[in-house]
Amino acid sequence: MSDSTSKDWKPRTHAVHGGTRRSQYGEVSEAIFLTQGFVYDSAEAAAQRFQAAGEDEFIYARYGNPTVRMFEERIALLEGAEDGFATASGMAAVSGALSAMLKAGDRVVSARALFGSCLYVLEEILTRYGVEVEFVDGTDLEAWEAAITPDTTAVFFESISNPTLEVVDIAAVSKLAHAVGATVLVDNVFATPAFSNAIAQGADVVIYSATKHIDGQGRALGGIILGTRDFIRKTVEPYMKHTGGSMSPFTAWVMLKGLETLDLRVRVQAGSALALAEALTGHTALSRVIFPGHSSHAQHALVQTQMGGKGGTVLSLDLKGGQEAAFRFLNALTIPVISNNLGDAKSILTHPATTTHQRLPQDQKDILGITPGLVRMSVGIEDPDDLIADVLQALEKAG
């Protein structure tokens, strides 16, 4: 095995070469070590490895595997984190990171606008184990300040919320959390590793669903928890390796190959999302066009500092004609598909009120701005002119 990783490289170089481990065959493309276990040269060697495994010594794939390790190192280098632990899904990463560090009596402050399963973990599961959870409006710094009391252990939020694309100020919330010694965990899916400065801005732990932009081609579920070496190896790893939410070597290989083209894909997607936002802003069939990278977004200044002006790859449109118009619009599209993933090479549209957020009570939908006319569009890598033309003709048909 050889590891040719230089820490001085820029993110795009890390995305292609970071963490590479070559076997004695000198393969160009990373090897898939599709093995659950590892053979020891002697009984003494086995005993030694169980006592203290070195960097490139593996015991059991639930604990670690060379292909998984390549993925963990590559994305950690990309994100500017010391280390990472790869998980079976994004939710294994969210629930694993929180469960690994929390205990009964701890207090968590979280943004209210969350991915449905994240909300379930915080509201239904952690509270069952005696963790106190308070939800705040993620864009309201005064609400964060009031809620982050000295007994707060952790702060959790999605840096860009789904589906209304509100941006949480990572630096400001981290400052409030760190003043009381709380750990800041950021679910950074919508920012993507390409546009993230979350660690530099103060996040202690960054979590991705690799299912989204990292795979980027809708093939596999995966996730990653990134943080300090101490947090990952002493807090996260013992929890994950014993509870079983580790990533499979085959998935790690899919995600490694995804990282190689991540930057190319998401920059094209973000550019097309901005072009769509520009083409659609002011359209008579729409009451709102929400895109963090567009100058009309309420937090456009924050997007400049936090994401270098890139608003991600997702935009949301609110049709004046409500649910009926939204359904007519979705059904009239010819290029994007109706589905609920995001970050894919294919453009994907979702009607949150009747799908991803269906179970939310009406008052919560109202608070979060999930109106009957709202559709979420994950912009793919198709030609933007074709996408704009298709969306315009479908809006026409939606009436």
Closer residue to ligand PLP (CB): 35 or 341? 341
In the stretch 258-287, what mask flags binding to ligand PLP with x, by CB under 6 A? ------------------------------
Using CB under 6 A, pick the residue from 73, 106, 169, 187 that binds ligand PLP.
Answer: 187
Smallest distance, ligand PLP to C-beta of residue 10, A? 26
Nearer to ligand PLP (CB atom), residue 97 or residue 148: 97
Q: Would you say 189 or 232 has its CB closer to ligand PLP?
A: 189
Considering beta carbons, is residue 118 or 252 the nearer one to ligand PLP?
118
Contact between 112 and 272 under an 8 Å Cβ cutoff? The reply is: no
- Pick the binder of ligand PLP from 70, 94, 131, 170 (CB under 6 A): 94
What x-and-dash track marks residues 147-186 binding ligand PLP by CB under 6 A? -----------x---x------------------------
Q: Taking a C-beta distance cutoff of 8 angstroms, is the pair 140, 273 a contact?
A: no
Order the strands of the 348-350 sheet from edge to edge: 286-290, 314-319, 374-378, 348-350, 337-338
369: CB partners within 8 A, 6+ apart: 164
Asked if 215 is part of the footprint of ligand PLP (rule: CB under 6 A), the reply reads no
Is 91 a binding residue for ligand PLP by CB under 6 A? The answer is yes
Query: Which residues fall within 8 angstroms of residue 326, CB to CB, at 6 or more apart?
Result: 319, 351, 372, 373, 374, 375, 398
The answer to whether residues 398 and 332 touch, using CB atoms and an 8 Å cutoff, is yes
Tell me the backbone φ, ψ of residue 350, rounded to 5 degrees: -135, 145
Nearer to ligand PLP, 83 or 215 (CB): 215
Find the helix or strand (DSSP H, E) in which 349 lies.
strand 348-350
- x-or-dash string of contact with ligand PLP, 37-56, rule CB under 6 A: --------------------
Q: Which of residues 190-209 bind ligand PLP (CB under 6 A)?
A: 209
Q: How far is CA 292 from CA 189, 270, 315, 385, in A?
A: 14, 10, 8, 21
Residue closest to ligand PLP when measured from CB atoms: 90
Dihedral sign for Cα atoms in the order 124, 117, 286, 277 = positive
Site for ligand PLP contains 89 (CB under 6 A): yes
> Please, which residues bridge with residue 157 across strands?
186
Q: Does residue 221 touch ligand PLP according to CB under 6 A? A: yes
**Contact positions vs ligand PLP (CB under 6 A):** 89-91, 94, 115, 117-118, 158, 162, 187, 189, 209, 211-212, 221, 223
